[in-house]
C-alpha cells in the first residue's frame, strides 16, 4: 500500500531493520521534536521541548485514539502497535511480523494507513490515530466489515483487522473502485490463509454501499 510507512513484502524496505529501528528510537524522537515543535498544541508540551532527551525510563505521552485523548506511560522505544495493544488494551490491532512486512498492524494516522509496528508511539504527537475499534459507528459495522462476514473473507483472522483497515480506506476514498484498485489497496496485507478472492469480492460489494 503506497500510503504506508513501509513497503510491502514483495518490496522490502532497504536499510531499516527492526533492530535498527529500536536502536534509533531515541534519535528519531529527538528529530520529531525538532520537526514538529511549532505545530504542537494542547497537551504535547512535554514532547515538544526542543532538544530534550527522553528515556530509558517511561515517559507520559498523550495520544488521540478513536476520537478520545488518552494518557499513557511508555518507554520512548515503544511502538505505536505496542502502545495500542499493551497500554490501551486496543488488541484489535494485530502484530504478526513486527517488522513492517505484513501490514497486519495497519491503523490510520491522520487518516492514512500505516504499519503501527514500525512507528514510534512518541512520534504520533498530535496526529489522530484510528484503529479497527474505531471503524464501526453507533454500534453498526462498517459496510466493509459486514461484507467480510457475508463473503467469508476471514479464516484465522490474524490479517483481518489490517485487511479491513486497508479496504475501508479504499472505499472511503474511491467512489467506484475496480478489482485492480482493491488488489493495489491490499497488496501489502499478507494473508497466509489465502482469503484474497473473498476479500476482493467483499470490498467491491461494500463499495457500492459506502458512498
Q: Report whether 113 contacts 4 (CB < 8 A).
A: yes
User: Judged by CB, which is closer to ligand FES: 5, or 32?
Assistant: 5
Q: What are the grid coordinates assigned to 187, written together?
A: 497488496
* Contact residue for ligand FES among 1, 95, 202, 204 (CB under 6 A): 95
User: Judged by CB, which is closer to ligand FES: 54, or 158?
Assistant: 158
Give the CA distances from residue 17 to residues 14, 23, 143, in Å, rounded to whole numbers and listed in that order. 8, 10, 36
User: Judged by CB, which is closer to ligand FES: 72, or 104?
Assistant: 104
Strand partners, 63: 70
CB atoms within 10 A of CB 27: 9
User: Judged by CB, which is closer to ligand FES: 47, or 93?
Assistant: 93
* Contact residue for ligand FES among 159, 165, 202, 206 (CB under 6 A): 159
How many residues of this chain interact with ligand FES, rule: CB under 6 A?
23
Q: How far is CA 198 from the centre of its chain?
A: 22
Tell me the C-alpha distance between 158 and 122, whole Å.
26
156 lies in the site for ligand FES, by CB under 6 A? yes
* Contact residue for ligand FES among 8, 47, 82, 101 (CB under 6 A): 101
Closest CA to 96 of 113, 118, 75, 78: 118
103 lies in the site for ligand FES, by CB under 6 A? yes
Tell me the C-alpha distance between 153 and 150, whole Å.
8
100 lies in the site for ligand FES, by CB under 6 A? yes
Tell me the C-alpha distance between 83 and 193, whole Å.
27
Binding mask 172-211 for ligand FES (x = CB under 6 A): -------------------xxx-x----------------
Residue 156, classed as helix, strand or coil, is coil
Residue 70, classed as helix, strand or coil, is strand
16 lies in the site for ligand FES, by CB under 6 A? no
Q: Report whether 118 contacts 111 (CB < 8 A).
A: no
Binding mask 136-155 for ligand FES (x = CB under 6 A): ------------------xx
* Binding residues among 24-63 for ligand FES as defined by CB under 6 A: none
107 lies in the site for ligand FES, by CB under 6 A? no
Q: Which residues bind ligand FES (CB under 6 A)?
A: 95-98, 100-105, 115, 117, 154-160, 191-193, 195
Amino acid at each position: 500500500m503506497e500510503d504506508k510507512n513501509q513497503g510491502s513484502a514483495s518490496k522490502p524496505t532497504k536499510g531499516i531493520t527492526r533492530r535498527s529501528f529500536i536502536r534509533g528510537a531515541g534519535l528519531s524522537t529527538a528529530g520529531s521534536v525538532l520537526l514538529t515543535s511549532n505545530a504542537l498544541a494542547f497537551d504535547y508540551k512535554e514532547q515538544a521541548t526542543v532538544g530534550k532527551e527522553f528515556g530509558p525510563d517511561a515517559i507520559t505521552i498523550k495520544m488521540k485514539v478513536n476520537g478520545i485523548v488518552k494518557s499513557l506511560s511508555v518507554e520512548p522505544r515503544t511502538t505505536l502497535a505496542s502502545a495500542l495493544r499493551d497500554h490501551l488494551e486496543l488488541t484489535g490491532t494485530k502484530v504478526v511480523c513486527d517488522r513492517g512486512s505484513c501490514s497486519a498492524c495497519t491503523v490510520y494516522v491522520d487518516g492514512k494507513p500505516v504499519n503501527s509496528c514500525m512507528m514510534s508511539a512518541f512520534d504520533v504527537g498530535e496526529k489522530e490515530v484510528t484503529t479497527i475499534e474505531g471503524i464501526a459507528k453507533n454500534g453498526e459495522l462498517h459496510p466493509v466489515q459486514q461484507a467480510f462476514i457475508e463473503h467469508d473473507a476471514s479464516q484465522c483472522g490474524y490479517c483481518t483487522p489490517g485487511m479491513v483497515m486497508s479496504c475501508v480506506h479504499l472505499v472511503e476514498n474511491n467512489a467506484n473502485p475496480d478489482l485492480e484498485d482493491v488488489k493495489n489497496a491490499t497488496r501489502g496485507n499478507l494473508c497466509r490463509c489465502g482469503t484474497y478472492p473473498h476479500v476482493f469480492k467483499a470490498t467491491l460489494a461494500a463499495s457500492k454501499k459506502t458512498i
